[in-house]
Structure 1
Amino acid sequence: MKTLAIPGTLCAPSLFDRLAERTPLSTVDWMALGSPADIPTVAARITPTEPHVVLGHSTGGAIALQLALAHPESVAALMLVDTGASMSGHGDVDGLLSMIRAQWGPALWRGVLDRSFARPPDEATMTALLAYAGAASPDVTYEVLDSQRSLDFTPRLAEITVPVTVVHGEFDRARPVEHAQRLAGGIPGAQLHVLPTGHSPVYEAPEAVAALLAELHERV
């Protein structure tokens, strides 16, 4: 069974490189697909032609949830990493959207990336991540976050019947662990694992995430 990894907003697919060194996976650069970039459209564009284990990180988790609900034939299992059923309580989303329109530039990109890690990545990695963010479209960034803000999957979580693993960083500054607890609690049979990381355990704890991904594959 193949694994499809979906990154978050302004997160380069290379964020999964450490994980890919430990387990086979493919990533999708959905931000490069352009507008419209609402989550249902993004999910429809990247829907696999055969069932995959789908790993979604941050906004990628919302895209993964949309895939599971709108295109269930393409999702054999879900790993949802530092995400939630809605954006309620997710930092200052309205402020971030305003900044995308009024203050798009290096300070904004750096701020988003800085809060994505409990400890800063090495300089080469951060340089690459900043370059990716700098090449991204502000319109796509705004559209996907505005779409995510308007969505609440909570009433439909019980419809998800595939195996699900929820992973969350204990020190996530964007989303508290309670978001993961509510997400896992709403999906029948979902397993929750809290790791000693920030918002990006796929980069910060690749060995632990790879082990959890292997366990999820065994449940398919």
Structure 2
Amino acid sequence: MSAGTGAALTAAAVVGAGTAPAAAAPHTTTSRGGTRIPVAPGVEVNVSDLNGGSRGTVVFVPGWPLASTTFEYNYLFLADHGYRAIGLDLRGFGLSDAPYGPYTYNVWAQDILKVLEALSLRDVTLVGHSMGSAVALRHAARFGSRVGKLVLAEASAPRYVYGPQSADLAAGLDGLISGYATDRAATIRGLTANFFSTHTDITTDPFLQFFERQCLDQASLQASRAGLIALRDDDLTADLARVKVPTRVFHAINDKIVPLDHGQALAAGIRDARLVTFATAGHAVYVDEKDKFNAELLKFIR
């Protein structure tokens, strides 16, 4: 696995302290069934909401550069089991507004707080994937008074450039940043080839074609670039000790994008955290081992 991570990112590049509750913000329902919630002057984020009952609420934060639709089968599973499943399009991605800036972990984490306040949600389970896990971690550590449990899947934390593969990871991110400045489509094509273990042929697989279009059509250039810079430069190590809620760390043993040592570091650094590994998944555990992902999530939140 040690060689796979740097190769995956390089291939993509070559081919191409909680706050006091505030008054709830007004929000509107869109024609596509989502909810638009103001998080800053002139900025609204899009939220999907599949309410299957009153057993609890699970809020999902997608990874770079994806939208909330990436979790649609997980939402349906939870709703079928009596839970309310909410997906958040981070600002700059999905159907959320995409101003020029700023885009940082702090900004995205504060947006989550605005959404929870607007929907009057408390004691939620917050689930993040990849960069979305870094955002979820920052939220739980700094703004997480409304979070009861935390799930970090394939987290690009405590730092993405971390561990024995640091040099490869840094070089891969620099290549992605450069690729985004010249040929975003080719760069995403390279990333797509390494994201899943169950979907591998972009030329014949409609699922991968859908994934690729989501990365391009629903991800703004400015937010995507800022996310890559945050992945390269930001360090969330100090946040680990601030997390006070039960935590599960989901990580695939053979992830080609975020090495397993990241998940191990999180599980070791967060009190009341436990690592759950996935034997056959790639970076997208919620797709590649969907049944186990859903079962482990359900077991944790019950």
- TM-score normalized by the length of structure 1: 0.92
1:173 Cα offset (Å): 0.3
Say whether residues 1:27 and 2:82 are aligned partners.
no
C-alpha distance in structure 2 between counterparts of 1:205 and 1:73, whole Å: 31
The letter of the residue matching 1:116 is F
Shift in Å at residue 96 of structure 1? 1.2
CA distance in 2: counterparts of 1:116 and 1:12, whole angstroms: 15
Q: Could you tell me which runs of 5 or more consecutive residues in structure 1 were left unpaired when the two chains were aligned.
A: none
1:174 shift after superposition: 0.7
Counterpart for residue 186 of structure 1: 269
SS of 1:37's equivalent in the other structure is coil
Q: Of residues 197, 202, 208 in structure 1, which corresponds to 2:286?
A: 202
Amino acid at match of 2:266: L
**Partner in structure 2 of residue 38 of structure 1:** 104
1:75 alignment partner AA: V
- Contact kept, 8 Å, 2:138 with 2:239, in 1: the verdict is no
Letter in 1 for 2:76: E
**How do 1:135-214 and structure 2 match up within 5 A?**
135=217, 136-196=219-279, 197-214=281-298
CA contact (8 A) 1:67 1:74 kept: no
Deviation at 1:43, TM superposition (A): 1.5
Which residue pairs with 2:70 in the alignment?
A: 15
Most deviating of 37-46 and 90-99: 90-99
Instruction: Give structure 2 stretches of 5+ with no counterpart.
Output: 1-55, 80-84
- Alpha-carbon distance in structure 1 between the residues aligned to 2:278 and 2:62: 18
1:216 Cα deviation (Å)? 2.0
Query: Alpha carbon RMSD of aligned pairs, Å?
Result: 1.7
Alpha-carbon offset, residue 183 of structure 1:
0.9
Q: Shift in Å at residue 124 of structure 1?
A: 2.2
**Aligned residues with identical type, % of pairs:** 24
More displaced 10-residue stretch of structure 1: 123-132 or 162-171? 123-132
Name the structure with the higher helix share: 1
Give 1 or 2 for the bigger CA radius of gyration: 2
TM superposition score normalised by structure 2:
0.68
- Separation in structure 2 between the aligned mates of residue 156 and residue 67 of structure 1, nearest angstrom: 9
CA deviation string 1:149-198 (max 9, x = no partner): 22211123012110100001122101111110011100012010110210
Counting matched residue pairs gives 217
**Cα distance between partner residues in 2 of 1:139 and 1:183:** 29
